[in-house]
Structure 1
Amino acid sequence: METNTAIKVLAALAQETRLTIFRTLVQTGEYGLSAGQLAKELNIPNATLSFHLKELTHAELVIARQESRFIYYSANFTTMNALLGYLTENCCAGTPCSSTVEICCNEKNS
């Protein structure tokens, strides 16, 4: 992931409603939720939800697909994983991190 792309993605998530929407979609999984379900679950007015979904889609964090007359939104796990990789690519002073539950950059590595 390029730095400018990471900035765009982080900027999209740097807002409480968008972060809540994205986290909800991550928890929902690949199938996602319809816009109506999302609005109802999060108690967000449709116009507000539409604005935030547009921002998340522009940052490639959300994928929209149409089924019949409904639009379903799901988290773009490819972008999310690329961002996580970008943020952690130099962690632990270049030493590969353990896949265990330990903190990656603990005091022993500093």
Structure 2
Amino acid sequence: MDKPSALAALAALGQDTRLEAFRLLLKAGATGIPAGEIAQRLGAVQNTTSAHLKVLAHAGLVRTERDGRTVRYVADMIGFRDLLAYLMEDCCNGAPELCRPVIDAVTCDRC
């Protein structure tokens, strides 16, 4: 990931509704959640939620899947991994054992 992409991803996550939507999609895993259900769970207006999801998609943090007429959103784990890798690229000044707890915390078997 390059710096402009990292800045776009961080800016996308820097808004309350988008951060909550992204965390919700991370919890949902590979099955994702339909757009309308995301709005309902967040207690937000559907068209506003769609705009927030579009920002997350442009930042490479979520992707869409069509299920008939339903648009399902899924956390893009590759984009998320690339953001984390960019942030940790020069971590720990040559002592990777210091980063191990962070890596363990963000690693999951379901992703």
Q: TM-score, length-normalised on structure 2? A: 0.85
User: After TM superposition, which residue ranges in structure 1, 4 or more long, deviate above 4 angstroms?
Assistant: none
Residue-pair matches, total = 103
Structure 2 equivalent of residue 43 of structure 1: 43
Contact 1:91 1:97 in 2 (8 A): no
Give 5+ residue unaligned stretches, structure 2. Answer: 103-111
Q: Does 1:27 align with 2:24?
A: no
Shift of 1:95: 2.0
| Cα displacement (A) at 1:94 | 2.1
**1:44-93: CA deviation from partner (whole Å, max 9, x where unpaired):** 11111011011111111110011111000010000101110111111111
Counterparts of residues 67-82 of structure 1 (less than 5 Å): 67-82=67-82
Q: Quick one: distance in 2 between partners of 1:72 and 1:14? A: 23
Percent identical pairs in the alignment equals 40
Matches within 5 A, 1:9-24: 9-24=9-24
2:95 aligned partner: 95
Which amino acid letter does the alignment assign opposite residue 34 of structure 2?
A: S
Give me the whole-angstrom Cα distance separating, in 1, the residues matched to 2:25 and 2:90. Answer: 28
The structure with the greater share of residues assigned to helix is 2
Asked if 1 retains the 8 angstrom alpha-carbon contact of 2:91 and 2:99, the reply is no
In structure 1, list runs of 5 or more residues that go unmatched. Answer: 103-110
